[in-house]
Structure 1
Amino acid sequence: MTTFTKVILYTDSDGYARFKEEKIELNHGNEKSQLSPCLNAQSLQLRHSPVGFTSDFHCTDKPQWLFVLQGIMEIGLRDGSTRRFGPGEHFYSADTLPAGTTFDPHIHGHCSRLIGNDPLITAFVRN
């Protein structure tokens, strides 16, 4: 069976952001067009980030899919690791601040920046 790899940015039990992957089965449709089950979506928001874009460490306020339409986005984690996403790539951003926790800039969240000389165009889909 064909699957789609869902890349997930999440908050681990120790409060640090990490990446993991999970498979979504494409078990609907037919042999020419394999589909996942319908996934709920609440809203779509588009973003343009100019050349030179960077962000400080932050948490996602509500889980959402992020799809890169143009440019290269680099996500940095507190452990120093990074992961880059280019046009057509995605991740599910779910690194929310744990309930009852105050943001600690030395533990929580991720940072992001644009790599290269093209503006970054992204689409956020909230469910």
Structure 2
Amino acid sequence: MNQPFIIPTITTNENGISVFENIDFSAQQRGGLFLTEQIGSKNFRIRKSEVGYATDFHLAGDATFIIIQKGSLKIELQNGEYKIFNIGDCFIAKDNLPENIEFDAKIHGHKARVVGNESLQAIHIKLNL
């Protein structure tokens, strides 16, 4: 039996514009639990950000799997579309541009902001995607 894990992802479309997409990491049943295939990673970091922390538009660079442990994080795209990730939520940020396109903060990327009245704590895992 195949069981999907659907992970919200920030990626780039064919025009280099950051978009939300859901990626399906299928899992197989193994002895009463469901596991995906191994996903290679480079390192992990623990992040803390205070209430009101915000970034300008930027790109993820390396693909990063982010797990929210405390607080809420709003990710907003250039077109105004956004998602708010809360405790227990996870997502992958992997928007990046081809080498021949120069980053323009008015066109490319996403921005992040801690929302609510609680600081953010999250785990960042750099992936080999």
Tell me the residue number matched to 2:103. 103
CA distance in 2, matches of 1:109, 1:98: 13
Q: 1:115: how far off?
A: 0.9
Question: Which residue is 1:79 aligned to?
Answer: 79
Name the structure 2 match of 1:40: 40
Q: Give 1:99's aligned amino acid.
A: E
Q: Aligned pairs, how many?
A: 126
| Aligned partners of 1:66 and 1:91 also within 8 Å | yes
Residue 4 of structure 2 corresponds to which residue in structure 1? 3
Shift of 1:124: 0.8
Distance 2:59 2:90 in 1: 17
Which structure 2 residues correspond to residues 1-127 of structure 1 after superposition, within 5 A?
1-31=2-32, 33-127=33-127
Whole-Å separation in 2 of the counterparts to 1:12 and 1:107 = 12
Runs of 5+ unmatched residues, structure 1: none
| Cα drift, residue 22 of structure 1 | 2.1
TM-score w.r.t. structure 1 length?
Answer: 0.93
Q: CA deviation at 1:17?
A: 0.5
Q: For the residues of structure 2 that align with 1:61 and 1:17, how far apart are their CA atoms?
A: 12
Cα deviation for residue 28 of structure 1 reads: 4.3
What residue identity is the alignment partner of 1:121? Q
**What's the secondary structure of 1:88's corresponding residue?**
coil
Partners of 2:16 and 2:96 within 8 A in 1: no
Does structure 2 conserve the Cα–Cα contact (< 8 Å) formed by 1:60 and 1:97? Answer: no
| Structure 1 outlier segments of 4+, above 6 Å | none
Summarize deviations over 1:49-89 as a string: whole Å, max 9, x none. Answer: 00111110001121111111111100000111111111111
What amino acid maps onto 2:27 in structure 1?
Answer: L
Residue ranges of structure 2 left out of the alignment (5+ in a row)? none
Identical aligned residues as a percent: 25
Does the 8 Å CA contact 2:10/2:21 hold for their aligned counterparts? yes
Q: TM-score, normalised to structure 2's length?
A: 0.91
